[in-house]
Amino acid sequence: MATSGSDSQWPQPSSLQGSLGNPRTGAQSIMLRSEKERRSSFPLGQRPTEPQFRASYLLQQLIRRYREADADEGEEKEEEESEESSDSEMLNLEKEFDGVLREEAVAEALYQLGRSGSGTEQAYLSLTLSGCDLIDISILCGYVHLQKLDLSVNKIEDLSCVSSMPYLLELNASQNKLTTFFYFKPPQNLKKVDFSCNQISRMYDLSAYQALTKLILDNNQIEEICGLELCRNLTHLSLAKNKITRINGLGMLPIKILCLSHNQIEKITGLDDLKALQTVDLSYNQISSFQGLENHDFLEVIDLEDNKEKSEYWLFVIFMLLQLTELDQKKIKVEEKVAAVNRYNPPPEVVAAEDHMTHVVNSLMQPQRIFDSTLPSLDAPYPMLVLAGPQACGKRELAHRLCRQFSTYFRYGACHTTRPPYFGEGDRVDYHFISQEVFDEMLNMGKFILTFNYGNHSYGLNRDTIEGIARDGLASCVHMEIEGVRSLKNSYFEPRYILVVPMNKKNYEGYLRRKGLFSRVEIEFAVSRVDLYVEINQTFPGYFDAVINADDLDAAYQQLSQLVREYLGLSEETAKSLAPTADIKTSQLNFEKSFKKPSVLSSYDFLDSTDRNYFAKLWAKLSAKKTPVEINSLERQYKTARQALMGKTPLHHTLLFQRGAVPAPVINGVHYFAALELEKSLELCEDSFKAPFGRYSEKSVDSQVPVEYSALFQPCPWPKELPFQSQECSIYSYPASETSESKEDKAPEAPHKPSHLSAKVSLQYKRHQTSFVSRPGSNTKPTLPPIPQGRKYTSV
Ligand X SMILES: Nc1ncnc2c1ncn2[C@@H]1O[C@H](COP(=O)(O)OP(=O)(O)OP(=O)(O)O)[C@@H](O)[C@H]1O
Segment near ligand X (CB under 6 A); pick from 55-63, 190-198, 475-483, 742-750: 475-483
Sheet holding 384-388, edge to edge: 410-412, 475-480, 384-388, 496-501, 546-549
Is 486 an interacting residue with respect to ligand X (CB under 6 A)? no
| SS3 readout for 258-283 | EECCCCCCCECCCCCCCCCCCEEECC
CA distance 522 to 390: 11
Q: Which is nearer to ligand X, 186 or 460 (CB)?
A: 460
For the CB of residue 709, give the shortest distance to ligand X in the complex, in Å: 39
Q: Which residues are registered as beta bridge partners of 171?
A: 149, 193
Contacting ligand X (CB under 6 A), which of 183, 433, 454, 525? 454
Q: Which is nearer to ligand X, 446 or 706 (CB)?
A: 446
Contacting ligand X (CB under 6 A), which of 194, 467, 481, 545? 481
For the CB of residue 322, give the shortest distance to ligand X in the complex, in Å: 30
How many binding residues for ligand X (CB under 6 A)? 18
Q: Which is nearer to ligand X, 492 or 606 (CB)?
A: 492
Residue nearest to ligand X (CB): 484
Q: Which is nearer to ligand X, 396 or 781 (CB)?
A: 396
| Contact pattern from residue 551 through residue 580 relative to ligand X, giving x for each residue in contact according to CB under 6 A and a dash for the rest | ------------------------------
Q: Which is nearer to ligand X, 536 or 736 (CB)?
A: 536
* Residue 601 zone, left/alpha/beta (φ > 0; ψ -120 to 50; rest): alpha
Count of alpha carbons within 13 angstroms of residue 771, beta-carbon side: 17
| Contact pattern from residue 394 through residue 423 relative to ligand X, giving x for each residue in contact according to CB under 6 A and a dash for the rest | xxx------------------x--------
Q: Is the dihedral of CA 554, 555, 559, 560 positive or negative?
A: negative
Q: Which is nearer to ligand X, 401 or 671 (CB)?
A: 401
φ/ψ of 451, rounded to 5, equals -135, 165
Segment near ligand X (CB under 6 A); pick from 53-61, 362-370, 447-455, 695-703: 447-455
Contacting ligand X (CB under 6 A), which of 106, 127, 222, 392? 392
Contacts of 459 (CB under 8 A, 6+ apart): 415, 416, 417, 418, 419, 431, 451, 452, 453, 480, 484
Q: Which is nearer to ligand X, 143 or 533 (CB)?
A: 533
Contacting ligand X (CB under 6 A), which of 484, 717, 777, 785? 484
Segment near ligand X (CB under 6 A); pick from 180-188, 215-223, 477-485, 738-746: 477-485
CA distance 594 to 575: 9
CA distance 112 to 114: 6
Contacting ligand X (CB under 6 A), which of 16, 461, 547, 568? 461
CA distance 280 to 285: 13
φ/ψ of 305, rounded to 5, equals -60, 150
Q: Which residues are registered as beta bridge partners of 100?
A: 136
CA distance 662 to 77: 125
* Residue 444 zone, left/alpha/beta (φ > 0; ψ -120 to 50; rest): alpha
Is 442 an interacting residue with respect to ligand X (CB under 6 A)? no
Dihedral of the CA atoms 251, 253, 255, 259 (nearest 10)? -30
Q: Is the dihedral of CA 276, 280, 282, 288 positive or negative?
A: positive
Is 452 an interacting residue with respect to ligand X (CB under 6 A)? yes
Contact 366, 446 (CB under 8 A): yes
For the CB of residue 579, give the shortest distance to ligand X in the complex, in Å: 21
Quote the longest CA-to-CA distance of the chain. 145
For the CB of residue 458, give the shortest distance to ligand X in the complex, in Å: 9
Segment near ligand X (CB under 6 A); pick from 95-103, 216-224, 454-462, 762-770: 454-462
Is 321 an interacting residue with respect to ligand X (CB under 6 A)? no
Is 460 an interacting residue with respect to ligand X (CB under 6 A)? yes
For the CB of residue 496, give the shortest distance to ligand X in the complex, in Å: 16
Is 502 an interacting residue with respect to ligand X (CB under 6 A)? no
Is 393 an interacting residue with respect to ligand X (CB under 6 A)? yes
Q: Which is nearer to ligand X, 522 or 572 (CB)?
A: 522
CA distance 609 to 240: 79
Q: Which is nearer to ligand X, 183 or 433 (CB)?
A: 433
Say if strands 415-417 and 457-462 run parallel, antiparallel, or are unpaired: antiparallel
Is 466 an interacting residue with respect to ligand X (CB under 6 A)? no
Segment near ligand X (CB under 6 A); pick from 221-229, 255-263, 391-399, 553-561: 391-399
φ/ψ of 326, rounded to 5, equals -145, 135
| SS3 readout for 772-784 | CECCCCCCCCCCC
Is 480 an interacting residue with respect to ligand X (CB under 6 A)? yes
Rounded to a whole number of angstroms, the distance between the first and last alpha carbons of the chain is 83
Q: Is the dihedral of CA 664, 668, 670, 673 positive or negative?
A: positive
For the CB of residue 227, give the shortest distance to ligand X in the complex, in Å: 55
CA distance 746 to 465: 48
φ/ψ of 546, rounded to 5, equals -160, 160
* Side chain identity at residue 457, one-letter code: H
Is 459 an interacting residue with respect to ligand X (CB under 6 A)? yes
Segment near ligand X (CB under 6 A); pick from 456-464, 598-606, 607-615, 661-669: 456-464
For the CB of residue 531, give the shortest distance to ligand X in the complex, in Å: 15
Q: Which is nearer to ligand X, 38 or 395 (CB)?
A: 395
Q: Which is nearer to ligand X, 397 or 545 (CB)?
A: 397
Q: Which is nearer to ligand X, 394 or 777 (CB)?
A: 394
Is 439 an interacting residue with respect to ligand X (CB under 6 A)? no
For the CB of residue 358, give the shortest distance to ligand X in the complex, in Å: 14
Q: Which is nearer to ligand X, 186 or 389 (CB)?
A: 389
Contact 784, 568 (CB under 8 A): yes
Q: Which is nearer to ligand X, 381 or 394 (CB)?
A: 394
> Interface residues with ligand X (CB under 6 A)?
391-396, 415, 450, 452, 454, 459-461, 479-481, 483-484
